[in-house]
Amino acid sequence: MQKAERFRIILELLKEKQQLNTLGLSIRLDVSDDTIRRDLTELEEKGLLVKVHGGAISRSLIPLPIQERISIEQAAKVELAKRAVCLLESGQVIIMDGGSTNMEVARLIPHDIPLQVFTNSLPLAALLCDHAEVELQFLGGTVLKSSQVSLGPTILDQLAPIRADLYFMGVAAIHQQFGATVPHYEEVLIKRKMLAHSQAAVVMATKQKEQVVEKFRVCDLSDVKYLYKE
């Protein structure tokens, strides 16, 4: 049983069953469990699966809702958020869209400084309901259920009369050459409009986000006044 063939079989099985256990594979492929573990490690490095205790699972199983990202790198996100919150000043008008890092920012907003916040993120809005000094405006539209943000043309109308001081933009990836990118096309128009209606944009990016490029481009990194990296 050659290595290449094992790889092929493992990946095929993973497609069907979505999850595999080490011992089962070692019997099925008639090699030691150590070999299987080494195979899985190698396949994980290639990004073809995710190792777990006891075996491996399909990568497609990982991006559950969006919330997987909440846990991953959470500590780093809090650190980024702490730095970004310093930009807030009394009386400002703020736009914030979705994303787990923005959630951390919202959590860290001091309860005693008055702000006016516009957002299209349902969980973020719910969170800000606890802030007595925040005047909250929700930007309505079609709800993208996977990330619980509203999108669509009605948002553009609602943004029209706004000139915000800061825009906390959630992005999926940043790249020196390709700029800030996101996985859904609908988001792009919204984010561009939000950007256009703000004096300064804030982007926070964990290390993770520096190693990927998503399908749709929002803007250049030079369009972002405050870029916080890990």
Chain residues that interact with a second copy, rule: CB under 8 A? 2-5, 8, 11, 18-19, 21, 45-48, 52-55, 57, 59-61, 63-65, 67-68, 70-71, 74, 120, 122-123, 125-130, 132, 135-143, 145, 148, 150, 154-155, 157-158
Which one-letter amino acid corresponds to residue 131?
H
Q: Which is nearer to DNA, 10 or 139 (CB)?
A: 10
Query: Which residues make up the interface to DNA (CB under 7 A)?
Result: 1-3, 6, 21-23, 31-35, 37-39, 41, 51-55
Which one-letter amino acid corresponds to residue 6?
R
Measured between alpha carbons, how far is 6 from 25 in angstroms, rounded to an integer? 9
Out of DNA, a second copy, none, what residue 61 binds, judged by CB under 5 to 8 A for its kind, is a second copy
CB of 8 to DNA, least distance (A): 13
Contact criterion met (CB below 8 Å) for 210 and 176: no
Out of DNA, a second copy, none, what residue 200 binds, judged by CB under 5 to 8 A for its kind, is none
**Residue 179, H or E segment:** strand 179-182
> Could you count the other beta carbons within 10 Å of the beta carbon of residue 141?
19
Bridge partner list, 121 = 149
Measured between alpha carbons, how far is 3 from 89 in angstroms, rounded to an integer? 60
Q: Which is nearer to a second copy, 67 or 208 (CB)?
A: 67
3-state secondary structure of 197: coil
Nearest-CA neighbor of 183 among 155, 148, 143, 217?
Answer: 217
Out of DNA, a second copy, none, what residue 135 binds, judged by CB under 5 to 8 A for its kind, is a second copy
CB of 14 to a second copy, least distance (A): 11
Out of DNA, a second copy, none, what residue 138 binds, judged by CB under 5 to 8 A for its kind, is a second copy
Tell me which residue has tokens 């290595």.
3
Out of DNA, a second copy, none, what residue 211 binds, judged by CB under 5 to 8 A for its kind, is none
